[in-house]
Amino acid sequence: MATTTTPPSGEPEVHGSNGREGGRRGRDGRLRRVWERRASRLAVGLAIAAVALTASAVAVGQGIGTFRDVPNDHYARDAVQWAVLNGITVGCGDGTYFCPETYVNRAQSVTFLHRYHNNVIRPLENRVRALEGGSVGTPANPNTGFENQPTPTTTPPRTFTTRGTQHQTRSFNLPAGVYEAVFTLEATKAAADHNQDADTDAEPVTLIQVEYRENSSSAWKTHAVSDLKLDSTRGLPAADALFQQAPASGTVDVEIANVPGRLPTSGQIRVSAYMADNTITPNDADTDPDRTTRYDFSWGIILTEKRS
């Protein structure tokens, strides 16, 4: 005599081979349906992973910082590439789009700011602090230093530090004397890859230098700090070396005094990037290199009092 199994109370007795209709369902039918559901979920998960891997492969194939909706002639293309290379954004959707016209909410805004601080500002600050090698300043006179913000100190020699970007001018008020100087720069792209206008041709940066002016003058000068610069012989930022300093090793002497040919005791200081003459449209009448403010970088200057 055949033995039959009675299903648990409350379960229907009519099920067929597919576990849903016709025939009798036992425990093996329930297990089969559980495994079918799990297999279905696994298939969905594998499909999603495959799409993600495909999107990543497409993004890599397109090139870092390049998205389908940001063509080469897009006005924000360089900025988008910079943001990707610095880990500030990873795009939207499947990673192959940037969504340049989409609004940014508060959570996204603070996320971008947090990534900018961690990936751009903090590394530069760490490098400048390392070069400072134990900051010292002048607590006896709180109104002395760059931007009236001296570095705290307990012992001489005194050290003064200032930082900025290509768009910023810093004020200084320094005691007369001879200082060992170091100029540091962190660029967002190679100088050779700089693009000044909307086309795809590169207009490379050929010179980056420290400039100063006295409070009573509007003319920017370089001769008192002529060694604080980067050019083809001193190492302009390259794709594999976006952080540069001048001099490449050691320091140079800068004399601060209120006499011609010296860095004045007070004034303004900035760092400028230049391209070959008439690279910028419209062309000008002279033959001097032309200054550009579209090449993005952060800079730092360290002056350490020199002992005799």
Does residue 125 fall inside a structural domain? no
pTM: 0.53
Q: Verify that 300 and 177 share a domain, yes or no.
A: yes
**pLDDT average, residue stretch 69-80:** 84
Domain stops at, among 60, 86, 103:
103
Does residue 132 fall inside a structural domain? no
Domain stops at, among 103, 129, 162:
103
Per-residue pLDDT reduced to its tens digit, 158-190: 888 899 988 899 999 999 999 999 999 999 999
Q: Verify that 43 and 186 share a domain, yes or no.
A: no
Do the bridges between strand 243-246 and strand 229-231 make them parallel or antiparallel, or are there none, so unpaired? Answer: unpaired
Does residue 10 fall inside a structural domain? no
Q: Verify that 56 and 200 share a domain, yes or no.
A: no
Task: Please give the residue range of the domain that contains residue 202.
Answer: 137-305
Does residue 109 fall inside a structural domain? no
Task: List the CATH number of the domain containing 223.
Answer: 2.60.120
Does residue 7 fall inside a structural domain? no
pLDDT value of residue 76? 83
Are the C-beta atoms of residues 55 and 31 closer than 8 Å to each other?
no
Domain stops at, among 57, 84, 103:
103
Q: Is the pLDDT of residue 61 over 80?
A: no
Q: Verify that 160 and 266 share a domain, yes or no.
A: yes
**pLDDT average, residue stretch 32-47:** 62
Q: Verify that 182 and 271 share a domain, yes or no.
A: yes
Does residue 261 fall inside a structural domain? yes
Number of folded domains in the chain? 2
Q: Verify that 94 and 176 share a domain, yes or no.
A: no
Q: Verify that 147 and 273 share a domain, yes or no.
A: yes
Phi, psi of 128 (to 5 degrees): -65, -45
pLDDT value of residue 262? 93
pLDDT value of residue 123? 78
Sign of the dihedral through C-alpha 277, 280, 286, 290? negative
Sign of the dihedral through C-alpha 237, 239, 242, 247? negative
Q: Verify that 166 and 292 share a domain, yes or no.
A: yes
d(CA 69, CA 89) in angstroms, rounded, equals 15
**pLDDT band for position 269 (cuts 50, 70, 90):** very high
Q: Verify that 98 and 145 share a domain, yes or no.
A: no
Sign of the dihedral through C-alpha 115, 117, 120, 123? negative
Q: Verify that 249 and 173 share a domain, yes or no.
A: yes
d(CA 59, CA 55) in angstroms, rounded, equals 6
Does residue 200 fall inside a structural domain? yes
Per-residue pLDDT reduced to its tens digit, 106-151: 988 888 888 888 888 877 777 776 665 544 444 444 445 565 455 5
Phi, psi of 50 (to 5 degrees): -65, -40
Long-range (24+ apart) CB contacts under 8 A made by 286-295 are: 289/206, 289/207, 292/194, 292/196, 292/203, 292/205, 293/166, 293/167, 294/194, 294/196, 295/166, 295/187, 295/189, 295/191, 295/194, 295/205
Least confident of 45-49, 137-141, 246-250, 265-269: 137-141
Are the C-beta atoms of residues 284 and 208 closer than 8 Å to each other?
no
Q: Verify that 169 and 250 share a domain, yes or no.
A: yes
Are the C-beta atoms of residues 281 and 201 closer than 8 Å to each other?
no
d(CA 16, CA 36) in angstroms, rounded, equals 16
Does residue 28 fall inside a structural domain? yes
Q: Verify that 88 and 142 share a domain, yes or no.
A: no
